[in-house]
Chain A
Amino acid sequence: MVIGNYFIALLGFFVCVANAQAAATDQPQVTFGGFGSLGVSHCTMGSGDYVVDGGIPKGPGLSDNLSTVNDSRIAGHMAAQMSPAVSVVMQIDAEYHSGNSYEPEVEFANVKYVLTPDVYTRVGRIALPTFLESENRDVGYTYAWIHPPVEVYRQEQITHNDGVDVNYRLQTGAVGHSIKAIYGRTTIATNDPPALTTLSSKHLWGIFDTAEFGPTTIHAGYQERDTNSGYILTGLAGTWVKESDLSFGAQYDPGDWFAISEWIQRKSTYKNNAMYVSAGYRVKKFTPYLTYALSSQGSFLSGFPPPSPDGIRLANRAQSTASLGVRWDFRRDTDLKIQLDQVKLSDNSNGFLANVPANVSLYGSKFYVVSAVVDFIF
């Protein structure tokens, strides 16, 4: 409800100012665009659903033989330049989520104010820059994979923050830094507990640096917030847990090929790590790639009540995935990708599978996922 009001208010502001500006200058100041993906996947695991996001309630595997939920979405993007210093962007995404529907949601909507050529600040709903591909994770056209590696990108379910950020661009010799500080709050719906649960976070803050020199990009970030996840993790209602992410990433992309690796350490009532390495080679319109991703078993931290059964299950999601895929840029602004994943669950883990029936243990299982997607921008 709050989001709805916020959305309407911002949209009204956006349209009024854009119209006034267009009338004043007689130049179109508003740009529209969008992107989408149409994906389908099959999973050989018959006792659980393979879902790439905790917000997705069901997927290929136990629930569906073939499923479109993991990699299908369409999004509209509007940007308005009101003055050299002030601009507004809004992005609305329709993808399968916790409400068992493709109902559109505001992914981000914010007002940007440029203070100096190297400093700007934004207020509103802002994408969270946890990983190298976090802010564009929904835009499949911008990367080689079908979707970012699940073991790492599923560690942080929060994708946007309602608040403020400050961005500072700094050039030191050949190295260009883009430094970002954020503050705010957010609410998400998740099926991870596994019942549908709304998780609220407050006092969310973080600092991130993306450094580029030549074809090399290094990303580092730290963020933390207070989240009302105590009930899920310990069974004690009303308990706020300080959750934090420390993340590093490195990418090398000289043009003909690329290599990328990211790592995250996540802490709540338990601590765990995840990482992936991926590399691809560009041959004309084809980009074959390989990825290996790994998430560790969580170790419980002292100072918290004993974990609940859900807490134990969430901490024990260790798994690894080896992926082989290819991207084909078969026409302008459109690609087709095919990917095969071999997923191995660790000895005491059902991994990130959803809807595994109670009392079913898939510990140590191995299964395959095959996915195809067409990504486009417009």
Chain B
Amino acid sequence: MVNLKLPEIIRNYLALPLLLAMVATGAHAEVVVIVSANNHVTSLTAEQTARIFLGKTTSFPDGGQALPIDQIEGNAIRDEFYTKVVHKSATQLSAYWAKVIFTGDGRPPVELESNVAVRRAVAKDRNTIGYIDKRYANRSVRVILEP
């Protein structure tokens, strides 16, 4: 049984022409960094975000635990994030993690397969931080960085 609430229907129908317009104009995916709407963090710098995703810190600047969620290799938004926020190419990132793993210093973040999967995981857990295509952001998450 389909039981859509009114605001959701409006959102979906409003989003459709917008998406079509973006596809038609070949709009470039814009990466945004997100936390759960329940997280108190309101903004991070690119530098602070990079430190979390490189495993150099396990906490947000306010002291709360920060658990990064990555996207799988091959997702365009992943390259966008690492180029714009972390300033590392895929090769440099691979060499970086080889150093961390083979010195026993840590492991790369867990990876999820899509923008939606990351958004859902981040929305559910206030300790997590992720990045998605801006078009997939909704009220369940808070955008804390638009690089």
B-binding residues in A (CB < 8 A):
31, 33, 35, 75, 77, 79, 89, 91, 108, 110, 112, 117, 122, 127, 135-136, 139, 141-143, 169, 171, 174, 176, 212, 214-215, 254-255, 282, 285, 329, 332-333, 377
Contact = CB atoms under 8 A, between A and B. Distances in A.
A174 B47 contact: yes
A79 to B, nearest CB: 7
B38 interface: no
A374 to B, nearest CB: 15
A255 B92 contact: yes
A117 B58 contact: yes
Contacts of B98: 35, 136, 139, 141-142, 377
A262 to B, nearest CB: 16
Interface residues of B, number: 22
A27 to B, nearest CB: 12
B102 A285 contact: no
Contacts of A333: 94
- Lowest 3 A-B CB distances belong to which pairs? A89-B104, A135-B103, A142-B99
Contact of B95 (A31, A89, A142, A254): A142
A189 B102 CA distance: 23
A34 B70 CA distance: 22
Nearest to B83: A255
A282 to B, nearest CB: 8
Contacts of B56: 176, 212
B103 A31 contact: no
Contacts of A122: 104
Given A127-B104, A139-B102, 18 more contacts: A31-B107, A33-B101, A35-B98, A75-B102, A79-B107, A139-B99, A142-B95, A142-B99, A143-B95, A176-B57, A214-B47, A215-B87, A255-B89, A282-B92, A329-B91, A332-B94, A377-B98, A377-B102
B99 A136 contact: yes
A127 B107 contact: no
Give the residue among B47, B89, B91, B95 with the most A Cβ atoms within 10 A.
B95
Nearest to A144: B95
B113 to A, nearest CB: 18
Contacts of B101: 33, 77, 79
A237 to B, nearest CB: 37
Contacts of A31: 107
Nearest to A108: B104
B104 A142 contact: no
B124 interface: no
B88 interface: yes
Interface string B50-91: 010000111100000100000000000000000000011101
A261 B95 CA distance: 19
A165 to B, nearest CB: 11
A110 B88 CA distance: 30
Give the residue among B56, B95, B102, B104 with the most A Cβ atoms within 10 A.
B102
Contacts of A377: 94, 98, 102
Given A117-B58, A176-B56, A110 B95 contact: no
B65 to A, nearest CB: 7
Interface string B2-46: 000000000000000000000000000000000000000000000
Contact of B51 (A112, A127, A176): A176
Nearest to B51: A176
A75 to B, nearest CB: 8
Contacts of A79: 101, 104, 107
B48 to A, nearest CB: 9
A136 B102 contact: yes
